[in-house]
């Protein structure tokens, strides 16, 4: 049996110091650049480091320096394309600042989200990017933990915590208006949810209703479908219900691309054409929608801008240069493709 878990005695600063004939202090300074070191000394240190294959122990640096070089990203599900794409940009933005990303998947569970709000494990991360689902705004704002925190995709009207999101009311109105301009007048909405602490769904419903009203279209509750989640299967099921109801929609505004893709699946199943019989628009602009049949018209949040803004806010907090809680509104555009 090979004992692959044996940690070899790990070469430390002391070994490097001994070989380079300097003190550990000087090794540290030479490597970090925190204090000036004569070039000849530095050379010997570097030589010794290479000689020994020395690499500093992160945990020790963390303990001493009170930073981990890690930021936590907590999302409900990492295999939801929108989150996967967003995380990718977060990882890129973080790496540029020498930070590594640690993933936490909450699945929207209250307990898991409270753990996040409490800064995860003490000293585990320097800051957290958090996309909440179950926890309400009040809870976000009254938390006791002081770990730097930035909320993602949350309502842009709170005041206790930094957050970045698109203008969800405007985004929903833009989507609905696109359908109206297309000539649709029985416009359904899929993804409705009761307000519970400032989620995005109520804002989207608001934008939808506002756009209908502005166009003198009547709001028909039969056309508004609740879904628990925003997955393909939820969109499929809601669309089925819609078709089985007396609603007779000629268009559907879905609160996520996944919902929209599920809805299209249901429409095809029933032998209906998209967009001829029913036009479909989503929100998220995930890559999948560029290749679906038909391609998906959608509201595109600027994910790179969201990731960059979120990381920047977080690093301002970490650096201690943060101003009062800020809210960033990232831009969005309507991507017109074939489905609407």
Partner DNA sequence: CTGAAAGCGCTTACAG
| Position 24 contacts DNA (CB under 7 A) | yes
CA-closest candidate to residue 43, choices 57, 34, 31: 31
The span of 34-42, 86-94, 137-145, 305-313 binding DNA (CB under 7 A) equals 34-42
**125-154: contacts with its own copies (CB under 8 A):** 144, 146, 148
Q: Can you tell me the distance from the alpha carbon of 260 to that of 235, in angstroms, rounded to the nearest whole number?
A: 6
Rounded distance, CA 330 to CA 165, Å? 6
Regarding 25 and contact with DNA (CB under 7 A), the answer is: yes
| Residue 271 is a binding residue for its own copies (CB under 8 A) | no
Binding to its own copies (CB under 8 A) within 230-259 occurs at 232, 236
Q: Which of 318, 328, 330, 340 binds its own copies (CB under 8 A)?
A: 318
Supply angle C-alpha 224, 138, 207, rounded to 5: 30
Tell me which DSSP letter residue 339 carries. -
Of 231, 270, 215, which Cα lies nearest the Cα of 248? 270
At its nearest, how many Å lie between its own copies and the CB of residue 293?
4
Footprint of its own copies on 210-229 (CB under 8 A): none
- Find, among 262, 194, 230, 203, the residue nearest to 108 by Cα: 230
Q: Tell me 287's DSSP state.
A: G
Q: Applying CB under 7 A, does 4 fall inside the site for DNA?
A: no
Determine, following the binding rule CB under 7 A, whether residue 245 of this chain makes contact with DNA. no
Q: Is residue 292 at the binding interface for its own copies, with CB under 8 A as the rule?
A: yes
CB 302 within 8 A of CB 332: yes
- Binding part of the chain for its own copies, among 44-52, 78-86, 187-195, 216-224 by CB under 8 A, reads 78-86
295: phi then psi, degrees, rounded to nearest 5: -65, 150
Q: CB of 329 within 8 A of CB of 167?
A: yes
100 binds, options DNA, its own copies, none, Cβ within 5 to 8 A by partner type = its own copies
319 near its own copies, judged by CB under 8 A: yes
CB 98 within 8 A of CB 58: no
Omega of the bond prior to 275 within 30 degrees of 0, cis? yes
The DSSP result for 103-137, as a single string, is EEE-TT-HHHHHHHHTTSSTTT-SEEEE--SSS-H
- Binder to DNA among 10, 98, 228, 246 (CB under 7 A)? 10
Q: What does 181 interact with, of its own copies, DNA, none (CB < 5 to 8 A by kind)? A: none
Does 69 engage in binding with DNA (CB under 7 A)?
no
Distance CA 228, CA 198 (A): 16
Site residues for its own copies, window 22-41 (CB under 8 A)? none
Among 14, 97, 159, 268, binds its own copies (CB under 8 A): 268
The least distance separating its own copies from the CB of residue 258, rounded to whole angstroms, comes to: 9
Q: Rule CB under 7 A: is residue 40 a binding residue for DNA?
A: yes
Contact 253, 188 (CB under 8 A): yes
The tokens for 135 are 């926890």
The answer to whether 61 contacts DNA (rule: CB under 7 A) is yes
Rank residues 32 and 38 by Cβ distance to its own copies and give the closer one. 32
CB 162 within 8 A of CB 326: yes
Give the C-alpha separation, 264 to 32, whole Å. 56
Q: Which parts of this chain interact with its own copies (CB under 8 A)?
A: 1-8, 10, 53, 55-60, 62-63, 66, 68-70, 77-79, 81, 84-85, 87-88, 91-92, 100-105, 121-124, 144, 146, 148, 232, 236, 261-262, 264-265, 268, 287-288, 290-293, 317-324
Q: Which parts of this chain interact with DNA (CB under 7 A)?
A: 9-10, 12-14, 21-29, 31-32, 34-38, 40-41, 54, 56-57, 60-61, 63-65
């Amino acid at each position: 049996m090979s004992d692959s878990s044996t940690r070899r005695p790990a070469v430390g600063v002391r070994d490097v110091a001994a070989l380079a004939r300097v003190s550990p202090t000087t090794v540290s300074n030479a490597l970090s650049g925190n204090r000036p070191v004569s070039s000849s000394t530095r050379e010997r240190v570097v030589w010794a480091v290479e000689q020994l294959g020395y690499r500093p122990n992160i945990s020790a640096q963390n303990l001493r320096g009170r930073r981990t070089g890690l930021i936590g990203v907590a999302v409900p599900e990492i295999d939801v394309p929108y989150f996967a794409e967003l995380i990718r940009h977060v990882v890129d933005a973080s790496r540029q600042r020498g930070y590594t990303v640690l993933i936490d998947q909450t699945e929207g569970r209250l307990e898991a989200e409270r753990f996040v709000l409490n800064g995860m494990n003490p000293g585990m991360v320097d800051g957290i990017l958090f996309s909440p689902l179950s926890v309400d705004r009040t809870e976000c704002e009254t938390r006791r933990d002081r770990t730097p925190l930035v909320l993602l995709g949350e309502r842009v009207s709170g005041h206790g915590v930094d957050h970045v999101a698109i203008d969800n009311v405007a985004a929903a109105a833009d989507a609905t208006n696109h359908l109206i301009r297309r000539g649709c007048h029985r416009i359904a909405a899929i993804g409705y949810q009761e307000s519970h602490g400032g989620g995005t769904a109520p804002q989207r419903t608001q934008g939808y209703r506002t756009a209908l009203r502005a166009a003198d279209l009547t709001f028909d509750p039969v056309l508004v479908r609740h879904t628990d989640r925003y997955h393909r299967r939820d969109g499929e099921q809601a669309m089925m219900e819609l078709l089985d109801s007396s609603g007779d929609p000629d268009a559907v505004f879905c609160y996520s691309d996944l919902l929209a893709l599920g809805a299209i699946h249901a429409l095809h199943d029933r032998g209906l054409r998209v967009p001829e019989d029913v036009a479909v628009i989503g929100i998220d602009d995930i890559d999948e929608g560029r290749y679906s049949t038909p391609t998906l018209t959608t509201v595109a949040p600027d994910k790179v801008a969201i990731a960059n803004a979120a990381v920047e806010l977080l690093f301002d907090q970490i650096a201690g240069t943060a101003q009062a809680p800020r809210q960033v509104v990232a831009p969005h555009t309507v991507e017109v493709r074939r489905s609407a």
